[in-house]
Structure 1
Amino acid sequence: MLDPALRGVTPNFIREIQHRNEVFIEIQDLLAEFPDPSTRAIMDIKIGTRTFLESEVANKHKRVDLYKKMIELAPNEPTDQERQDEAITKLRTRLQVRRALRHFCGTDKVCKQLAKRLRHIRDSVEASSFFACHEIVGSSVLLIHDGGTNPTSNKEVKVGAWLIDFAKCHRIEGGGKLTHRHPWDLGNHEDGWVGGEVTLRPRCFLMIPVYHYLVAMVR
């Protein structure tokens, strides 16, 4: 990212590589600071109220795999018709992350440090000129820590969080600006990336609720 506001919250770009008529980019190895796989925990979470482009809304193809994921995470969510079809469209997918986030953090020490890091990322995003004029869809926050799950451990804990996956980002035509907070309506390109709620909603994953939820877990 060339945006100064995002420096340090996205992986560093190293170089562009061409291989067999394909172009790849080499970026910073975010796992290099966490070399021990026995203590390392990694979570990659999609951010926003939707992970699909507006152009994908027209895709009415129903998928069995998405239905299975839905009933595994939210058994009461499917409608009667969806239960009969045993399939749903991409527009209907939702994720429940509260329990997984608690398990991932393991200790209050990790929660506190991740909350601090996520607050920094949120402030960077709100100051970013790139985010102001781009629809951010399908991006993730990558969380890493080496704190383990022992709450009484005095081990020095290292945590990290970075923004990744910007392949679906699109610049808004006509010089428009996005808040990343307003509800999405077809055509307004809002993505709910930052959000405005102060508690973690069960059907989407927003930066502000994630921060507040981590703080709540250690109160």
Structure 2
Amino acid sequence: MAIPVTPFAQECRILAHQETSDAVVVDPGGDAQVIIGALEQQGLKLKAILLTHGHLDHVGGTRALLDKFPEVKVYGPHRDDEFLLTTLAQQAAMFGIENSGSFECEYVGDNEVLKLFPDASFKVLHTPGHTPGGVCFYCEEENFVLVGDTLFPGSIGRTDFPRGNFADLENSIKTRLYTLPESTDVMCGHMGDTTIGQEKSSNPYVRG
């Protein structure tokens, strides 16, 4: 389930296990009450929160979710995005979004595997470029990858924000994402979804 949040229409994802009703929320950028309402309406039990990077439109609802579900763990991003998570107030002022408050997270490392469902795991792919600590979460069992703002349909993440780097982003996409099976569904933070094969063949910014 994708829920557009914040004025930037960032696509927060709710991943649910059909048998256990356990759920994982990915990039709760804001509008936490909408996310909570969706969880409650579907009868889901929030188990974890995944963060692809430290920009406010991807993490801004985390504190409110933790206030509602204090036992939930937050995984990600990579520690190289710590500077972003410690400057959320400044980000809020820059983007004109309400400051959501700070929170604790468990930083993740490249190739770390998170076993969040009984029959599905999430492999961490460190993909610097949009931010230095950006990560993607690859679920081989269900053939999808959560990419945040690393890759979009026919586009890529911006690199003009603090510590962004186009060369790093290009390398991340070519070596970490374009090496996945071409049938892999790519769940993006904005602009809808795509596949690895589609982007390798036609993305004008980074060709496979």
Q: Does the TM-score normalized on the shorter chain lie above 0.5?
A: no
Greater share of helix: 1
Question: Structure 2 length as normaliser, TM-score?
Answer: 0.24
- Structure number, greater radius of gyration: 1
Comparing both chains, which one has the higher relative contact order based on Cα–Cα distances under 8 Å and sequence gaps of 6 or more?
Answer: 1
Question: Structure 1 length as normaliser, TM-score?
Answer: 0.23
